[in-house]
Amino acid sequence: MDRRLALVRRPSPRLADGLVTHIGRSAVDVDLALEQWEGYVAALNAAGWETVEVPPADDHPDGVFLEDPVFVYGDLAVLTRSGAPERRGETAGLREVLEEHGYRVEEVTEPATLDGGDVLKFDGTVWVGQGGRTNAEGLAQLTELLRPFDVEVVGVPLASVLHLKSAVTALPDGTIIGYPPVVDAPLTWGESFEAVPEETGSHVVLLGGDTVLMASSAPQTEEELRGRGLDVVTVDISEFEKLEGCVTCLSVRLRG
């Protein structure tokens, strides 16, 4: 069995100051958030993933959302350039970790902006959200970096959510799931799209085989996914959801 690694980053003591764009601000319990993060890491470990803690980013409230500053495909790791200037320092320390694990590292450069949370990949297709955090030049640069992999890169317009993966993710069989009120471009997905009854049910992490990780805040979706024969692991990430975070945001899965 291949070694499965997941990069994670410990929450900043300033987590409560994280950015919010499409929801109202709620008080964040930083101590509870740390407990929830530890539970998330434990869930990855229990599913057979070895977690690697990258250098902390204590001056960056959103640094725990590690999916945004880096995107990986094959042996390539792309350090992004966030559309939120406050978040651009979150890439610090990542190059060394990625190179240590055998990745060749490229960087998105000005005037491009790209957040990893805007990038959904599955079976030779890479969809890239085009909205507040990722611009057309970001899409163009990522397309060029992925050219050696012979993948199809598709831009997807966004308006209702922070990131593309806030609206849709893929199940192990390639079905794209999403909560219709926040899916801005339903025709992008065609017949592969299936609606879920809760917004936080749109977010799943593929853990291998038929196992998926999702938030405990979407019990109806959990029941539906179990009905499809999936092995569903749930975690409570309520404090991160207050900052528009989801289960995909909190790790970067590697296969080494």
Cα separations in angstroms, 118 against 36, 51, 114: 24, 23, 7
218 is in which domain, residue-wise?
A: 4-255
Give pLDDT, residue 1.
43
Handedness of CA 252, 170, 21, 108 (dihedral sign): positive
What is the average per-residue pLDDT within 135-162?
A: 96
> What CATH number does the domain containing 136 carry?
3.75.10.10
Helix intervals (H) in 147-217? none
Cβ contacts of residue 195 below 8 Å, gap of 6+? 177, 178, 179, 180
Cβ contacts of residue 148 below 8 Å, gap of 6+? none
**Structural domains of the chain, count:** 1
What is the average per-residue pLDDT within 56-72?
A: 98
Rounded-to-10 torsion of CA 154, 117, 217, 233: 90
Question: Which residues are identified as catalytic?
Answer: 163, 249
Instruction: Note the pLDDT tens digit of each residue in 84-106.
Output: 999 999 999 999 999 999 999 99
What is the average per-residue pLDDT within 132-147?
A: 97
> Percent helix, strand and coil across the chain, each rounded to 5?
35, 25, 40
Check residue 124 and give left, alpha or beta (phi > 0: left; psi -120 to 50: alpha): left
Q: Is 203 exposed, middle or buried (0-12, 13-18, 19+ CB in 10 A)?
A: buried
The Cα 184–Cα 77 span in angstroms is 28
Say which residue the tokens 């831009």 belong to: 155
Res. 256: pLDDT tops 80: no
Res. 241: pLDDT tops 80: yes
What is the average per-residue pLDDT within 118-139?
A: 96
Candidates 256, 249, 255, 226; CA nearest to 64 is: 249
Say which residue the tokens 């917004």 belong to: 199
Output the average pLDDT for the chain. Answer: 96
Name 128's bridge partners: 119, 155
Q: What is the DSSP string of 113-135?
A: -B-GGGEEEETTEEEEEESSS--
Res. 235: pLDDT tops 60: yes
- 125 confidence band (pLDDT: 50, 70, 90): very high
Strand order in the sheet with 205-208: 205-208, 211-215, 231-235
